[in-house]
Amino acid sequence: MINIVLFGPPGSGKGTQAQFLIEKFNLKQISTGDLFRFNMKNDTALGQLAKSYIDKGELVPDQVTIDMLIDELKKPTDAQGFIFDGFPRTAAQTEALEKIVIDVLQAPISVCLSLIVEDKILVERLLKRGETSGRTDDSNEEIISNRIKEYYSKTAEVAELYKKQGKYVEINGVGEIEEISQKLFAEVEKIK
C-alpha cells in the first residue's frame, strides 16, 4: 500500500496533481478541504465549526479534522493506497496521522511530496480560482495572505519530521502541469 502526504501551501496545485497520482497509481484522495466543504455544504456540526475557522483564514483544529479523516478512511475501497491532501499541517497532526494509518490501514506513510511555489504566484492563483469557485476564502487577498503565512508557520515542523524519517521530497510546483506530474510519478516509483 502506498500512502502519500501531498504537501504545499494553498494554491500550490495539490488538488490538480492529486488527480494524476490517483489515476496513475490507483489511489484514493483524502482532501481535508473536500471533507470540510462536504461537511459545510451539508451543514453538519463539524462543518459549521470548520467554516468558522476557514472564513477567518485560520486552520481548523486538529480534533475536528481527525474525526472527519477517520470516518473517511473507514469507508470501503479497492484503492492501492491513499493521498492525504491538506493534512497533516502540524507535528501533532503528523503523529496522529501515523497512528491512524497504522491502526486503520495497517500501513505507514510512504512519502511526503511537497510542492514548492512562490507566495506571489500562490496569491495570483487563488484570486483567479476565487473568481470562478465561489469560495469566500479565495476572493480576499488579505485572507489569502494570512492562510499562506499561517501555513508556513505551522507546517515547517511537519517538513522537519518527514525529513528526519527520510520521507520528505520537494518538487517545484511551477511550470507545465504534466512536467510537475512526471516529477511526482518518479518519486512514487522509487517507493513502490
3-class secondary structure for the chain?
CEEEEEECCCCCCHHHHHHHHHHHHCCEEEEHHHHHHHHHHCCCHHHHHHHHHHCCCCCCCHHHHHHHHHHHHCCCCCCCEEEEECCCCCHHHHHHHHHHHHHHHCCCCCEEEEEECCHHHHHHHHHHHHHHHCCHHHCCHHHHHHHHHHHHHHHHHHHHHHHHCCCEEEEECCCCHHHHHHHHHHHHHHHC
129 is annotated as an active-site residue:
yes
14 is annotated as an active-site residue:
yes
37 is annotated as an active-site residue:
no
Identify which of 69, 64, 71 has the alpha carbon closest to the alpha carbon of residue 47.
Answer: 64
Q: Which of 28, 37, 129, 154 is catalytic?
A: 129
147 is annotated as an active-site residue:
yes
Q: Which of 24, 135, 149, 190 is catalytic?
A: 135
Grid coordinates standing for 134? 465561489
135 is annotated as an active-site residue:
yes
Rounded to the nearest 5 degrees, what angle is found at the Cα of 158, between the Cα atoms of 155 and 170? 90
- Active-site residues: which are they? 14, 89, 129, 135, 147
